[in-house]
Structure 1
Amino acid sequence: MKQRGFEIISSYKDQGISLPERATKGAAGYDFEAAEQVVVPSIWKLQAQGTAPKPVLVKTGIKAYMAEDEYLELVSRSSNPLKRFLMLANGVGVIDRDYYNNEGNEGHIMFQFINFGYEDMVIEKGERIGQGIFKPFLLADIDNVDKERTGGFGSSGKN
């Protein structure tokens, strides 16, 4: 019986995608790679052009399954802001258990980046972009949620 882990989403099966792995035995996070090349524009260049900066979604081609009382926390690599001027726009990402295999996008995990550097940043396919850490969570004494997920990215807040 599978407890927690990663799979490649169907549209990326033959694209040379690597499943996330930990770099060392002591590492908490599983390293995610970019599934394709993407450019994260400089917020300063966008502002100079009169365009409002907005996050760029970097696809991984990966989905995650986990136990009922767990979630996957997405965090940035420590080198991203220091060396590449990349920050996770949402600070930390939360992948809920019911995101796996949803009908909206099959549970495709993506990282949201903003580039606060002066130059556009190119992320190459296969480049490590972030980490995922499986974590348990607790429920409040009174928790009466019956609603089921009906979509993909950002769908849980929609009516």
Structure 2
Amino acid sequence: MKVRGFECVSDWQDKGIHLPERKTASSAGYDIEAGEDAIVKPGELTMVPTGVKAYMQSDEVLMIHIRSSMAIKQQLVLMNSVGVVDSDYYNNEDNEGHIFIAFWNRGTKPVAIQKGERIAQGIFQKYLTADDDVAGEGARRQGGFGSTGKA
């Protein structure tokens, strides 16, 4: 039985995608690579595909953080500060759970991202719910980005 991890998105199977991995025994984050080349223009949002999706338990979330080298050296930030990948995003009907990294360039020069470059890190976490929480009883995710709670 699978507990948590990463898989390649079906349409990206033949594109040389590397699954995220931790680089040291004490690393909390799994390094996530760019699935293709991209340019992030100054003052603009660019969605960089990774070619991967994540599976986890229903009481877990994958938090996506920018790598500090991307933020400090390239003046990039995540558009939503921290990405949240819910467990039911995996294999959703819209995009199979494909994880994209939403970069915003705060600098004055375009930033080139190369396929295979480590651009973010994902950290799996358990989360708690409030007493009498009934969110999602019988509900099923209907789509991809921003679809939580939509019927």
**DSSP 3-state at the match of 1:72:** strand
Q: In structure 1, the residue corresponding to 2:129 is in which secondary structure? A: coil
Equivalent in the alignment of 1:131 = 121
SS in 2 for 1:114: strand
Runs of 4+ in 1 over 2 A off after TM superposition: none
Question: What amino acid does structure 2 have at the position aligned with 1:6?
Answer: F
Three-state SS of the structure 2 residue aligned to 1:105 is coil
Q: Secondary structure at the match of 1:98?
A: helix
1:5-154 paired onto structure 2 within 5 Å: 5-43=5-43, 53=44, 55-145=45-135, 146=137, 147-154=139-146
Q: Give the CA deviation at 1:158.
A: 3.8
Q: Which residue of 2 aligns with 1:155?
A: 147
Deviation by residue 1:100-153 (Cα, 9 ceiling, x = unmatched): 000110000011101111111111100000000000001110211222210011
Deviations 1:10-63 (A, max 9, x none): 0100000000000111000000000001110011xxxxxxxxx4x211110000
C-alpha distance in 2 between matches for 1:95 and 1:128: 18
The alignment yields a C-alpha RMSD, in angstroms, of 1.0
Count of residue pairs brought into register by the alignment: 149
Amino acid at match of 2:117: E
Alignment partner of 1:71: what SS?
A: strand
SS at match of 1:155: coil
Distance 1:144 1:87 in 2: 34
Take 1:11 and 1:150, find their aligned partners in 2: how far apart are those partners? 20
* Identity among equivalent pairs (%): 54
- Structure 1 or 2, whichever has the larger Rg, is 1
Aligned residue identity for 2:140 = E
What is the distance in 2 between the residues matched to 1:40 and 1:158? 30
Scaled by the length of structure 1, what TM-score is found? 0.90
Gaps of 5+ in 1: 44-52
Q: Which runs of 5+ in 2 are unaligned?
A: none
> 1:29 and 1:85 mapped to 2: Cα distance?
21
